[in-house]
Structure 1
């Protein structure tokens, strides 16, 4: 049974999901209780305001593009948006599913603040890179330090710290520059990146590189995210390289091979002894002209290598990076990478560069082998099952076939091969219900199979057989899960067709038996009565009182036979009836009372209490009174027919936009297993020779069809030997 409007509104208000109704401009028309709780803003300030009023600036353009893209042809979209609202000291993040219908946008969202909080992301990055993460709220001056930040300052993790306390850990010479950097960021909204001295709580001097990134809302910095990196060792190394040439020569002796010193102004290069041996250069010559070295670069790499070399010399900073193939002592070519440090003059021009040339030939061969193997594997994946996805043990997509990638890009606007994506975030909604269970079972080493029904974006039904296969490494540990989907739509359709055909065959067989049984009784019985009475009348029965009784019996048999034939006629002519309805505004009290009076004599003949309750508001409805009366008459007749003692109550009541007509009896009731069949034509709870009551079983079926034609519904509640309650529901005139 479908939810009523009131039930649906209550459900939306009680759910933990955020529900917002918008128009195409993004203006908010309605919100549920969960939305009010998260936004912590009075409802009157939210309704009528565009959703972008509460979003972070950098998310607004994404939202405007998304809501503009929603059309009747593309009514679905999903995206995560952040709001300038703090939840447990974190920026509120909500993941929405948007649906466009009837010029309205319905947004259902879930609070994902914990997964998307900026400082959590920075904390995870800091653990991987051994870099401390921090963030600062300028409104309340709250500072968050990751565990790495506390350790870098020699502080106990978790203690509260203010901005001024954090600045005081810097060397006195650095403190004002740090304050200036923060104030400049708040004014200009530009990222800062500085390297300054820090004095830890234990008095240890460190050099730290600090980066600050602003989070902006309504052109105001509401948050600053950043990182701390201990660069003490690197800082001192660079300073020594810049100030002491002797350090350079010591470094040349300490590196095993591949070391060079390039004098830019004279264009000569000093190569270490091992370097010269490696490349086949003369052992007795320390300095080699640069042009001689360039002749050793592979012809296919020479032009690009020179371009990178010149770009490196001109770029900011001091580092140098290049790569190319060099001719080797054995006559072949090998892959090398060049790492260097550039010394500059006062004008900022590079005058000298020292560095190391690293042989990465085997690494390149391995990379090429991996690429070739991936290509082969991808070809197998693309030509295997209907869809195939390889996941790591966390559920992140490692590889996928081209058709799955196409669907994910189309439906979720993300490329999982370019951006790490959890499979559960980019799968159809009906896959999600059982994914976690099946994935966890596969992580235990169990191969799991399951059949899934899905609706394609074209609207057709597709059946898939999913298979979760654990992949083991050399240590027999699971390192990935292969999820494959095989299209079994044709097989499933065949199975369903066979099953439906079998059920239809059984239904037809039962229907045929019921029709034959009912009609054999309902037509033969009155015909036998007519024939018998006719014979008695023809035999010139002389007693007048007996003759009158026979005429009454003849009339009853005639009426019964005529009613059976009329019901059959009405049932067969329903389609024609739909085209010839006469809708008029009817006083429902009057119509119900008319049907009630028609069966008063029948109820009295069985000594039943027969009651009528009308609605004082006198509701009206636009209906065809003829077929409504037929439907109501059949139900009242049945109620009296199947009730031997007790009462029959006919009641009408209107609520809001509906009219309810109740017919309640204390009769034999209907068994739970038969209650669904009661509206089927030619069906009675007792049938065949064992049936207890007369009738074709068409009446209730006709009633149901008539009420549905009028746009209404019939409901039934019943208990065996307790009675039955029929409810007719119609639309009320306003």
Structure 2
């Protein structure tokens, strides 16, 4: 008995003379379970489908096979059929009512009912007691001859919204949506009243008014005397499928009505083309039939494009084994004109990669090509106007590269026509314009390159005055700058304003702040420098007092100094103020009294911001402490150096020469430290000079420390005192760390910085710190000796050896120096040494570490062509 049949029905089968049936499409068998329900029909228990069909009439056999084929073709999943079968010389009519199994689509199962002399009430009760119908995933509805509903299952209620009670004894026309005409319903009723089964799609209406599609099978229901008792309708909702079909149909019609031609080729067919979409008529002038039967495709390709198309197609098909590709070429239309097309072709291949067929679509690109031609003509006209303009015009891209400049602009910067195209605008201004002009233009050009709009602004180039303005086009990502000669207007205006501006200019350009107060010590005037000191405190500008910004201690000082000025004394004093931005500043004030009619009327003061000077003095004290610490470190380093020297003296002549060279590298930063430390003690030294000297001391200290550490490292390795602690490490992790550590240095030089770790590098046994040190030295050297181009780190495993290649596009190394490059304190050329500096110990240390770890370092380089250092390490 099938698993989805309610077990309680088993006890009813003998009484109702019903039975379960099952058809297996794979095994080609049919089974009738519970044979006692059909009494002596033992021959129907388990048979092949062929044997079963032999017991049917020709008409029933044909109908049975048709229904089974419909299910196989997935046209329906319902089987509802009346058949007459000969059992024990007696012909019995049986109703088979069922559906495809939910879990196995090759099984059809359901309930079989012999037609007996039962009342309608008994028939309905039988349907209610059938779990198959109650639990069926399709709608089941039993009506009388007038279409009044006698029974409906739960699925019917779920889809329509009507409960079985609501719909009982109601005519099935309550589901009518009005979407079908009278002829539709007449055909339906004529079919079922003639004793035939009707199958089709119906657009019905739910209880809530929503419309839905259902696929229905309506079968007449007979008694044993072949009289109509009513109809059985089995149906399933297909609203979603119909909606998708409708959308797909609309999309297909839209696609086929557009300018895109769909083509199919079959290489085994003479002529090749097997399909051309109908819209080809509107594009090429041929009908689909003409194009398929009369046109050889290669013949309508433009003669100038034909060789290219053939070669490209051959390469895509045979060399690249592509599944799709794109080409551009021209095709000849029926009227002899040529049109431009973009061809998107897809290739279908079998499991042996042999071509089955081609499919693709052609996009008419003619309008775009013609528009380009027209644009070029328009651009030519624009160019004439552009070059004859009386103002200088320049276009730059977002990177600051000049993409166009007219003749007037060329004249302004003393350039030949076309010379500026492709050059950097920043470089142009620095190199071709006088210093002052360049300083005027650089900030303006910076704003132009950032895409900022600049309203007309005046600049001076030598003895000429110009008005410059700019705008930015975000769509074209270009900036335009315009120069207009306004020299005459400028000179005339300058003469008018000269005498007035002379005094104001002097005051405004003062580095020190200038203030005037009234007799109440409220500010009545401040120059720009004073405003900068106070950082825009509006309250101070509007008759405020400096006293209001002073710290409590400085407020007392100000009060005392004001009293002195009222008595006619000029004073100089130092105060602290707190700006509006809550910044503390140190100010030197030199103030004198002002008189009117021989009476005190206020003060005139010069303010000097000495915040940085005070801070520098504090830093100087800190630097002095730091210098003492540095000296102590130097003494310690010197002691270590002395020990290293004593060991080195025991070595051969090369080590002696090495120490002579290294002493130079030590003396250089030491001289810088001692010399500039003494200079910083000069009390008359400017703040800028002092900061410069302190930076030199710091840099020299770091340089000296690097030299000493390199020496100690090399000494320990050569003396066998270096400790190597081998553990298992993740080499990918260590290499990536080294890569990231050096990233900033590479990016500062704008180098293309690349890493390729290969595929799944294995862990290795090594000293993690030393392993990392070798990689850092090789990457650091590559960056150091490469001014432009790229640095790449490539890793792979070959014959149980890990290879790490560091490749640069730097200065390279002459072949005759390949060996000595690994010797201590060696760089290839004196010129190189002056340019790059350093001890020259890095490669020596790296190679000795590599050898100690069981590997090596190899060099492949040519002068001016870059270098590749390969670090090998056993797995």
Q: Which has the higher contact order (CA 8 A, sep 6+)?
A: 1
TM-score, structure 1 normalization? 0.29
TM-score, structure 2 normalization? 0.24
- Pair member with larger Rg: 2
